[in-house]
Structure 1
Amino acid sequence: MQEFLLDHTHINETNKKGIYFFTALLNRSCIAQKYRKFFYDFYLRSQNKEKLIFIDGGAHAGVFSDVALACGGICYAFEPNIHLYAFLKNLYKDNKNLILFNKALSNKNGKTFFQTDDNIVSDGGNILKTDFNGENFYEVELINFCEFLSEILKKEEKITLIKLDIEGAEFDILNDLIDQKLYKKIEYIMVEIHERFFNDGIQKINLLKEKIRKNNITNIFLDWI
């Protein structure tokens, strides 16, 4: 991931609303160039008073949440890492459009263990590891993502965009999203796939791609960065 700190020298509230700052946020979030038009369109839509709903699954340092907020949207952000969550909670404490959860996205509710590497604020921590070496693991709460989406969709007509960067848990969630047809209520779903975390990772991603193809799904993108 690219360096997530912006140089705020000479940035005031006026030029934070300008095109150069917006483009800098897109660059910082590593969104693939071919998808950036979506975000300029989101900004235009919000300026035309359309309500936009984003979900940031795996918020890390907030680089995608910042893009969602700059587009003029409401963002639900999920980060299970307790240290990153503490920074995010402070960072967005005055922003009513960012709703933050210290939970891990899953296809079930409950609790599990979250483990990081030696860099406890890296973007590689996940809930899939079972070799709990060292001290960098702790219990976290799981949230059934499809249940959460169903609750949101009781209040909202649709969800604008979901970004998932959840270190391997995306396979279970995407399969449920497709099986429950929830993807039809979401404009775009952008995912970073982590097949490398599995011994059968190539098979997993091929099965997922085939499922997307068979269902004629055109709004799930597996290469958002």
Structure 2
Amino acid sequence: MALKAPSPYELKKAFMYPRKLYMRHRENLEPGFLRSALELHYYRPAFYDWMGAVHANPQLLYEADINADSVVIDAGAYTGEWAQDIMDRYGATLHAFEPDPRNFKQLNRRAQQNDTLIPYRYGLGDKTETVQMALEHLGSSIFTDTSGANGVPSAEVEIRDIAETWHSLGLDRVDLMKINIEGAEFPLLERMIETRLLDKVDCYMIQFHEWHPGAYQRRRRIRKALARTHTLEWDYHFVWEKWTLK
């Protein structure tokens, strides 16, 4: 049986692994959220800049011109921490999409205590399909190895076409959309451009992921499309960026 050639994504991750080990030794952090977050971003300078910005303004990722009448989409809701902060701050109606079954279980429990939080056990993308997802808590992804050979468990999850979902939920305008979906942001946003949904959202908070095939070119094309209708408020390269409607 022929061996499967590594993808460009896997090659990039392998190339950066020595740097991750070096930085892990230099930072000497205890295992936990901060170390996990740094390693997800391979200790890039932009992530340190982001941490500095959040230290100066802890509300940076939660500031938006919304209120209790607003509609918010959280694509990649994880267990609902960001959603909870948005609801506590603004009282907005929040549609939270999370395909990872372990994360969704916690998200659903949170929704039972919040009438304005509506959880969906599927992800958003450019088409409706069932795929395997590697379950890595902070970095669960449909683009990483799902064979189990690396010790990471996987599960079959559902992804739904953003355009079909938009119409089935009866959405018109969305006041805020947060996107953090481990590489799936590229096909999702490309589909929104294709179906003329991009300008239906007043404010975007997006985390693009660098270690995916064509990431730089695809991000440039998406940002060019966004710039026609939105203004870039702030940008931490391949960490987080915020766009608001002109």
Which AA in structure 2 matches 1:100?
P
Is 1:201–2:215 an aligned residue pair?
yes
Q: Which position in structure 2 is the counterpart of 1:144?
A: 161
Is 1:166–2:181 an aligned residue pair?
yes
Identity value in percent: 22
Superposed counterparts of 1:80-91, under 5 Å: 80-91=99-110
Is the contact made by 2:133 and 2:146 (CA closer than 8 Å) also made in structure 1? no
Q: Which position in structure 1 is the counterpart of 2:96?
A: 77
Aligned-pair distance for 1:143? 1.2
Aligned-pair distance for 1:68? 2.5
Assess, with a 3 A threshold, how the Cα gap between structure 1 residues 88 and 37 changes in structure 2: closer, same or farther.
closer
Aligned-pair distance for 1:79? 1.2
Aligned-pair distance for 1:67? 2.3
Mapped to 2, the partners of 1:220 and 1:150 lie a distance apart of 27
Is the contact made by 1:109 and 1:143 (CA closer than 8 Å) also made in structure 2? yes
**Count of paired positions:** 183
**SS in structure 2 at match of 1:59:** coil
Which AA in structure 2 matches 1:140?
V
Aligned-pair distance for 1:130? 4.2
1:212 corresponds, among 204, 222, 226, to 226
Is 1:107–2:119 an aligned residue pair?
no
**SS in structure 1 at match of 2:230:** coil
TM-score norm. by structure 1 comes to 0.70
Mapped to 2, the partners of 1:220 and 1:107 lie a distance apart of 24
Is the contact made by 2:122 and 2:159 (CA closer than 8 Å) also made in structure 1? yes
TM-score norm. by structure 2 comes to 0.65
**SS in structure 2 at match of 1:195:** coil
Is 1:123–2:141 an aligned residue pair?
no
Is 1:58–2:76 an aligned residue pair?
yes
Mapped to 1, the partners of 2:202 and 2:184 lie a distance apart of 21
Mapped to 2, the partners of 1:32 and 1:205 lie a distance apart of 25
Q: Which position in structure 2 is the counterpart of 1:24?
A: none
Q: Which position in structure 2 is the counterpart of 1:19?
A: none
Mapped to 2, the partners of 1:111 and 1:186 lie a distance apart of 27
Q: Which position in structure 2 is the counterpart of 1:188?
A: 203
Is the contact made by 1:56 and 1:78 (CA closer than 8 Å) also made in structure 2? yes
Is there any run of 5+ residues in structure 1 with no aligned partner, and where?
Answer: 4-26
Aligned-pair distance for 1:96? 1.8
Mapped to 1, the partners of 2:58 and 2:160 lie a distance apart of 26
Which AA in structure 2 matches 1:175?
E
Is the contact made by 1:109 and 1:144 (CA closer than 8 Å) also made in structure 2? yes
Mapped to 1, the partners of 2:156 and 2:179 lie a distance apart of 21
Q: Which position in structure 2 is the counterpart of 1:10?
A: none
Aligned-pair distance for 1:175? 1.0
Is the contact made by 1:190 and 1:220 (CA closer than 8 Å) also made in structure 2? no
Mapped to 2, the partners of 1:98 and 1:2 lie a distance apart of 27
Structure 1: 4+ residue segments shifted above 4 A: 219-222
